[in-house]
Amino acid sequence: MKDFVTDSRILRCTDLNFFGDRKCREFEVAGAESYAVGQYLMIRTQNREVGWPYPYFIHGKTAKGLLVLAREDQDLYSGREGDPVEYWGPRGTSPLNGTELPILVTEPAAYFAVYPFICEKAYQKLIIIGTENTVPAGNMISAEIINSVEICSKLSDAVKLLETEAGRGPVIAAFNPGTAETFAESVSKDRKNNTVLLVSNKKACGIDGCKGCYLHSGDTKFGINVCCKGPFMPLTVIDFKADGRCFETYL
């Protein structure tokens, strides 16, 4: 992992439509770093007078840079080709175990978090909690992906599927906080032991200030240190009451 800041620029950007007509943009950021699926860049733009880096998942590499995804509510979304940016990273830890492809379980608002695994074909099945008409068309979902998608109208249906033969294997889950807590309460102990859950990495400082980081303060309990070990954490280590501030609601 590279620890210092890199001055870079946006090489290109492409509009994408996600579930529920959620708007995202793919950005190619100049750089030569390697990455593992599930890692992210902490990127600082010059869109604000006082800038702070924010995390953007990496979902691909080109000859000239890395591909990252920005949601409509993030600073980078308003960036344009040629704009200067600074980044730290890649950051985070990939949840892939290297032996068995995971099952991805998510809801439309958090689909962006599993998108990198889909781009890298690093999954065996995608379970979407919602309705079939929320599946986006065009550049978001190819025929190959459609064939591996299970649409569950209710969270309980997804949990049942994960307890069957068709749901065997490691699970990478990404939800809004309420759904995440219900999911954790509903799955079996065996399933918990083989599941990682997205915890927001928005609080990651990205600038190696760990010794002074409030997340590491012995006097202030802000929950698990997602900035160091996330953004996907084992479900067994998450206490939703103690770690509540580590989660983020996605629209």
Q: How far is CA 96 from CA 22, 116, 179, 203, 218, in A?
A: 27, 12, 23, 23, 31
Q: One digit per residue, pLDDT tens: the chain, 251 residues?
A: 555 789 999 999 999 988 777 889 999 999 999 999 999 998 999 866 666 788 899 999 999 999 999 999 999 999 999 999 999 889 888 999 878 999 999 999 999 999 999 999 999 999 999 865 555 554 455 545 656 788 899 999 999 999 988 778 899 999 999 999 999 999 999 999 999 999 875 655 544 444 444 444 555 555 555 556 678 989 998 888 877 777 788 87
Are 34 and 120 in the same domain? Answer: no
Residue 127 domain-assigned?
Answer: yes
- What range does the domain containing 181 cover? 103-246
Domains of the chain: total: 2
Among residues 29, 59, 91, which one ends one of the domains?
91
The rounded distance, in Å, linking the Cα atoms of 53 and 68 is 14
120 and 221: one domain? Answer: yes
Q: Which of 64, 91, 118 is the last residue of a domain?
A: 91
Contact 130, 107 (CB under 8 A): yes
Q: Does residue 58 belong to any structural domain of this protein? A: yes
Domain edge (last residue) among 63, 91, 119: 91
pLDDT at site 206 = 47
Q: Nearest to residue 223, comparing CAs of 204, 205, 206, 245? A: 245
C-alpha to C-alpha distance for 12 and 37, rounded to whole angstroms: 21
Q: How buried is residue 145: exposed, middle or buried, by Cβ count under 10 Å (0-12/13-18/19+)?
A: middle
Residue 35: which of 16, 57, 8, 5 has the closest Cα? Answer: 57
pTM as predicted = 0.87
For residues 81 and 215, give the distance between their C-alpha atoms in angstroms, rounded to a whole number.
35
Tokens 């590499």 belong to residue: 61
pLDDT at res. 84: 96
Residue 97: per-residue pLDDT: 81
Any idea what the CATH number is for the domain that residue 42 is in? 2.40.30.10
Give dist(CA 140, CA 4) in Å, integer. Answer: 33
Tell whether 160 and 183 lie within a shared domain. Answer: yes
